[in-house]
Amino acid sequence: MSVNDILAWAAANQAMALGGVFLLSLLLFLFTRFGIARGIVSLAARSASKIDDILVRNLQPARIAWMAPLALIYTLAILFPGYEKLIQKASLFIILWLSVFTLSGLLNAINELYENRPNYRGVSIQSYLDIAKILFVLVAIVLSVTLLTGESPVVLLTGLGALTAVLLLIFQNTILSLVASIKIAAHDLIKEGDWIEVPSYDADGDVVNISLHTIKIRNFDMTYTVIPTYKIVDVAFKNWRGMKESGGRRIQRSLSVDMISIKFCDPEMLERLSRIDLIHNFVLEKIKQIEAYRLEHQDHYDSPLDGPQITNIEVFRVYIAAYLRTRADIHKESMPFLVRVLAPTPTGLPVELYIFANTTDWATYELIQAEIFDHLLGAAPNFDLRVFQEPTGLDFSSFARSLTSS
């Protein structure tokens, strides 16, 4: 039977031809959907590789299975001369958008495969893939209008030229986000995995996703902050990546010493402090200097203001530095290492530590910091120093009792 005979038979038996096309399309769909597509999913599940799992999850073979029966319907549309153009346009329209969704899924798979690489360093390409998705959709819209109207794409694009201002207004945020994404990538401002602070958006946490339009941040309280991509280059933010890459995290904290407890060390105190191993040599050297000066100027020596005297706060500072140098979890040479006294305040004399722990892990860093200051708070009384603290209710009640008893 020739093609002309089939066409003549279909023209004479439209109902039977329609039923035959429907039956063939259904059988083809069942074969592609439950045979080929399910087989691909099953093979991917059995494979040890994760690549095919990602491709299957994003491409969705069950959705692609629709293309085979649609292609068949498009081909057999000639059996219905009165509706051929309509059937072909409808089939091509659906195939076009299924292709767009499939290409979009392929881009999602590419992005996921890229981010799952062992050497992934947080440089996101999702913004560029989002742009490609937008272009696919725009092309599909143009082709859809061309398909439905029968006009040439050139005519349609020429008409769109007059709407440039409107299009720029509609896609304003997209254009700004594209420019911002290029700036972020070119200047290496932010990567996925970076810890950033954006005070104007109350964001403080790790960047979990960078897309064309948004930057998603998981805050440390487990909430999420979503910032428009084009806004991030217009506001001040702090990126802690440098701290993580350096391998050290700063400890800048002080304890306030009650200035009334600061005094010159007498011989008895120096003798007692010399028994502390960490500062033994330092104290002995000071004792020798004081004694040498006293013997040289014994005719007019007036302790404690004459000669190389030393205060308990100075010995305490030397002790702090010596104690910190014994800790293996503190950088001593490659990063700043300071024990300094700040300007006196109404709440005492601040003795500040400006040092760097040799870890960037938050929990470990806090433990190191706590251990250091626990030790220093316990050590201060051994130098006859009092750590300043605001009076409490217990202090006032003790004072009241002392007044009553007197």
Percent of the chain with pLDDT over 70: 87
Closest CA to 228 of 180, 269, 266: 180
pLDDT at 196 over 90: yes
> Residue 371 — very low, low, confident or very high, per pLDDT cuts 50/70/90?
very high
- Given a cut of 90, whether residue 358 has pLDDT beyond it is yes
Burial per residue of 114-127, b for 16 or more beta-carbon CB atoms within 10 angstroms, e otherwise: eeeeeeeeeebebb
Whether the predicted pLDDT of 402 surpasses 80: no
Q: Decide which of 2.40.10.220, 2.30.30.60, 2.60.40.10, 2.30.30.40 is the CATH code for 185-244.
A: 2.30.30.60
What is the pLDDT averaged over residues 158-168? 62
pLDDT of residue 386: 94
Amino acid at 7: L
Query: Is pLDDT larger for residue 391 or for residue 104?
Result: 104
307: alpha, beta or left? (left if phi > 0; alpha if psi -120 to 50): left
Distance (Å) of CA 219 to CA 184, 227, 245, 297, 393: 21, 12, 20, 66, 38
Domain spans of the chain, in order of start: 3-182, 185-244, 247-263+316-406, 265-310
**Higher confidence at residue 152 or residue 359?**
359
Report pLDDT for 373. Answer: 95
| Least trusted range by pLDDT, from 35-39, 241-245, 258-262 | 35-39
For CA atoms 184, 185, 187, 189, the dihedral sign is positive
Average pLDDT, rounded, for the chain = 84
Q: Which spans in 66-152 are helix H?
A: 67-75, 84-115, 126-149
State how far the Cα of 185 lies from the Cα of 124, in Å rounded to an integer.
8
Q: Which residue has the higher pLDDT, 62 or 273?
A: 273
H or E, element range at 252: strand 249-257
Q: Is residue 110 over pLDDT 90?
A: no
Query: What predicted TM-score, i.e. pTM, was given to this entire model?
Result: 0.63
Does the pLDDT at position 53 exceed 70?
yes
Beta bridge partners of 354: 252, 338
- For range 139-166, the mean pLDDT: 71
Q: What confidence category does residue 331 fall into, taking pLDDT thresholds of 50, 70 and 90?
A: very high
Asked whether the beta carbons of 204 and 213 are under 8 A apart, the reply is no
Whether the per-residue pLDDT at 301 is higher than 80: the answer is: no
Q: From CA 349, how far away is CA 359, in angstroms rounded? A: 29
* Residue 167: pLDDT over 70: no
Phi first, then psi, for residue 321 (nearest 5°) are -60, -45
Q: Judge whether residue 69 has pLDDT over 70.
A: yes
Q: How confident is the model at residue 217 (pLDDT cuts 50, 70, 90)?
A: very high
Given this model, what pLDDT does residue 372 score?
96
Over the stretch 250-299, which tens digit does the pLDDT of each residue have?
999 999 999 999 999 988 999 999 999 999 999 999 999 888 888 887 77
Q: Is the pLDDT of residue 323 over 90?
A: yes
pLDDT at 157: 63
pLDDT at 363: 92
pLDDT at 28: 83
Tokens of 169: 């207004």
| Mean pLDDT value of segment 370-396 | 87
Range picked from 124-128, 150-154, 175-179 for highest mean pLDDT: 175-179
What residues contact residue 387 under an 8 Å CB cut-off, 6+ apart?
Answer: 255, 256, 257, 258, 348, 377, 380
Measured in degrees and rounded to the nearest 5, phi and psi for residue 77 equal -65, -20
Among the four given CATH numbers 3.40.50.300, 3.30.70.100, 3.40.50.11060, 3.90.1300.10, the one describing domain 247-263+316-406: 3.30.70.100
Residue 10's pLDDT is 56
- Across 296-311, b (16+ Cβ under 10 Å) vs e yields eeeeeeeeeeebebbe
Position 314 scores a pLDDT of 95
User: Bigger pLDDT: 270 or 302?
Assistant: 270
